[in-house]
Structure 1
Amino acid sequence: MTRLISIGILSAFFFSSTFILNRAMSLQEGDWVWTASLRYAYMLLMICLWLLLTRQGGVLSGALRIFRRHWLFWTTAGSIGFGVFYALITYSASFAPGWVVATTWQATILATPVVLCLFGRRVPARGMLFSALIFAGIVLVTLEQAGAAPLGKILLGTLPVLGAAFAYPFGNQLVWEARHGKSPRIPVIHDPVMENSVGRLLLMVLGSLPFWVVLVLATAPPPPTAGQLLKTALVAVFAGVIATSLFLHARHHATTSYELAAVDSTQSMEVIFSLLGEIIFLHGALPGAAGMAGVALAMAGLILYVRAQSSTAG
Structure 2
Amino acid sequence: MKIALIYGVISSIFFAFTFVLNSSMNISGGHWAWSASLRYIFMLPLLYIIILKQNSLHKILSSIKNNMSSWILWSTVGFGLFYAPLTFASSYGQSWLVAGCWQITIVAGILLTPLFKQKIPLKSLLMSFIILIGVFLIQYEQASEVNFSQVLLSIIPILIAAFSYPLGNRKMMEVCGDSLTTTERVFGMTLCSMPFWIIVASFGYIKTGMPSSSQIIQSFVVAIFSGIIATILFFKATDLVKNNTSQLAIIEATQSGEVVFTILGEIFILGGNIPTTTGSIGLLLIIVGMILNSLTTSGPNKTENLEIS
The alignment status of 1:65 with 2:62, answered yes or no, reads: yes
2:182–2:232 contact (8 Å) kept in structure 1: yes
1:147-296 paired onto structure 2 within 5 Å? 147-180=144-177, 190-191=178-179, 194=180, 196-217=181-202, 220-221=206-207, 222-254=209-241, 255-296=243-284
1:111–1:166 contact (8 Å) kept in structure 2: yes
* AA of the residue aligned to 1:231: Q
Distance 1:97 1:297, change over 3 A: closer
The alignment status of 1:81 with 2:78, answered yes or no, reads: yes
Higher mean C-alpha displacement, 301-310 vs 83-92? 301-310
Q: Secondary structure at the match of 2:296?
A: helix
Q: Can you list the C-alpha shifts for 1:234-272, whole angstroms capped at 9, x where unaligned?
A: 100011000000100000001211111111111111111
TM-score, normalised on structure 1?
Answer: 0.87
Alignment-derived partner of residue 49 in structure 2: 49
Q: Secondary structure at the match of 1:266?
A: helix
The alignment status of 1:122 with 2:119, answered yes or no, reads: yes
Distance 1:300 1:2, change over 3 A: farther
Alignment-derived partner of residue 17 in structure 1: 17
Distance 1:296 1:157, change over 3 A: closer
What's the CA shift for 1:213?
Answer: 2.1
Structure 1 alignment gaps of length 5 or more: 181-189
* AA of the residue aligned to 2:232: S
In structure 1, distance between residues paired with 2:66 and 2:200: 25
What's the CA shift for 1:278?
Answer: 0.6
* AA of the residue aligned to 2:223: A
Distance 1:32 1:243, change over 3 A: same
Q: Secondary structure at the match of 2:71?
A: helix
Distance 1:100 1:299, change over 3 A: closer
In structure 2, distance between residues paired with 1:93 and 1:238: 18
Distance 1:217 1:302, change over 3 A: closer
Structure 2 alignment gaps of length 5 or more: 303-309
The runs of at least 4 aligned residues of structure 1 exceeding 6 Å deviation read none
In structure 1, distance between residues paired with 2:159 and 2:153: 11
In structure 2, distance between residues paired with 1:257 and 1:313: 10
What is the identity percentage for the equivalent residue pairs of Structure 1 and Structure 2? 35
In structure 1, distance between residues paired with 2:248 and 2:77: 19
In structure 2, distance between residues paired with 1:89 and 1:296: 22
In structure 2, distance between residues paired with 1:68 and 1:197: 18
In structure 2, distance between residues paired with 1:105 and 1:299: 13
Q: Can you list the C-alpha shifts for 1:249-308, whole angstroms capped at 9, x where unaligned?
A: 000001211111111111111111111111111212223544444444334333333333
Q: Can you list the C-alpha shifts for 1:57-90, whole angstroms capped at 9, x where unaligned?
A: 2x22321221222221110111100011111111
In structure 2, distance between residues paired with 1:153 and 1:299: 25
Distance 1:285 1:30, change over 3 A: closer
Q: Can you list the C-alpha shifts for 1:130-159, whole angstroms capped at 9, x where unaligned?
A: 111233334334444664344332321222
* AA of the residue aligned to 2:63: I
Higher mean C-alpha displacement, 126-135 vs 290-299? 290-299
Q: What count of residue pairs does the alignment treat as equivalent?
A: 299
In structure 2, distance between residues paired with 1:98 and 1:148: 16
* AA of the residue aligned to 1:107: I
Distance 1:313 1:301, change over 3 A: farther
Higher mean C-alpha displacement, 110-119 vs 298-307? 298-307
Distance 1:34 1:293, change over 3 A: closer
In structure 2, distance between residues paired with 1:290 and 1:94: 22
TM-score, normalised on structure 2?
Answer: 0.89
Distance 1:80 1:246, change over 3 A: same
